[in-house]
Each structure stands twice: as structure tokens, then as C-alpha cells.
Amino acid sequence: MMSDRVLGLVGLALAAFYIWAATIIPESFAQDAIGPSTFPMLIAAILALASLYFVLKPDPDPRWPSLNRLAEIGFALLVMFLYAQVLPVLGFVISTVLATAYLTWRLGARPVTALLNGVGTSVGLFILFELIFGLSLADGRFGF
């Protein structure tokens, strides 16, 4: 019950923010019948109504994972964000070895298997996409 209420409150806040953001859309000399802010406000109204429904008639709570599983997901999220950041610096091959190995390890493989999958995935995808299909993957400082 609580979870849906929280979702509803977040939705209401989002709708309010959205309506505010719609009111500050600058005026334009090219104006049509209803302007650029009417439709977004309509949508925000629907968002607000749906959110209000969650607050008033919440579904039973989903089964949230235990704290250490949540941490697991949080760390994976962090690793993916880091991957996006270091990609232009370290280049595709090194970054991908690290990210793949981490994910493989956390999904239940032994560290050695994880490292092997990291190297295999990285090199394999590099050969397939950069060398065969000619996509430009991130080059980084070292050129690969």
C-alpha cells in the first residue's frame, strides 16, 4: 500500500513541476490556435489524475528486494554510469573488459570466468563491430 502512495506523490510532484515548466514556455511570434503549452498541460493533468488514484486506491506492495540486493543493483547502476564516463578516456576495449567482468561476476560467475568473459566479450565485440562492420567505437587515449 505504501509503495503505491509514494509513487502517487512522486507523480503528483512531477505533474506540478511539469505544469510549472509548461507555463514558462516562451511566447513565439508564430502562434497557432492553442499554442505550445496546452497539450503538455493536458498530459500533466492525466499524470496527476492517475497519481491521485494511486494515493487513494493503492495496489498491494510489490516484493522489494532485500537491502543487500538493492545495494547490488545500486553498484551495478554505478558501474554502468562509470562505464559511460570512462569510455572516451580508456577506450572501448579496456572499459568493456572491466564493465563486463564486473557484471558477469555479480551475476554469479566465478572471478576467473568473469574476467575471461570480460576479455572475450570486449575483444569479440570490437572485432565484430569495429573491424568487420566498421562502426566507430570509443577510441580513448590509447587508440582502441
Partner 1 sequence: MDTFLSLYDGFAVALTWQNLLLALAGCFLGTMMGALPGLGPANGVAILIPLAFTMKLDATAALILLTSVYYGAMYGGRISSILLNIPGDEPAMMTCLDGYPMAKAGRAGEALALSGIASFVGAFFATWGLVFLAPQLVKIALLFKPAEYFVLYTLAFATLGGIAATNQAKSAFAAALGIGIAMIGVDTQTGVQRFTFGEVHLYDGIDFLIAIVGLFALSEVFVFLEHRDPRGAEAPRETVTIGRLTAPWSMLRRCTPTMLRSTGLGFLSGVLPGAGASLGSFLAYSVEKQVVDPTGRSFGKGDPRGVAAPEAGNNAASGGALVPMLALGVPGSGTTAVLLAVLLTLNIQPGPMLFQENPDVVWGLIAALFIANFMLLALNIPMVGLFTRVLLIPTHILMPIVAMVAFIGIYSITGSTFELSMMVGFGILGWILRKFEVPLVPIILGILLGNEMEVNLRRAMTISNGEWSTLFDSWLALALWAIAIFGFVAPIFMGKRVKRRIREAEEERIGD
CB 60 within 8 A of CB 5: no
Nearest to partner 1 of 32, 143 (CB atom): 32
- Rounded to whole angstroms, how far apart are CA atoms 69 and 55? 27
Contact pick of 13, 23, 73, 141 for partner 1 (by CB under 8 A): 73
9 contacts partner 1 (rule: CB under 8 A) = no
CB 93 within 8 A of CB 126: yes
100 contacts partner 1 (rule: CB under 8 A) = yes
Positive or negative: CA dihedral 62, 67, 72, 73: positive
28 contacts partner 1 (rule: CB under 8 A) = yes
90 contacts partner 1 (rule: CB under 8 A) = no
Contact pick of 110, 111, 127, 142 for partner 1 (by CB under 8 A): 110
Three-state secondary-structure class, residue 102: helix
91 contacts partner 1 (rule: CB under 8 A) = no
Question: How many residues line the site for partner 1 (CB under 8 A)?
Answer: 72
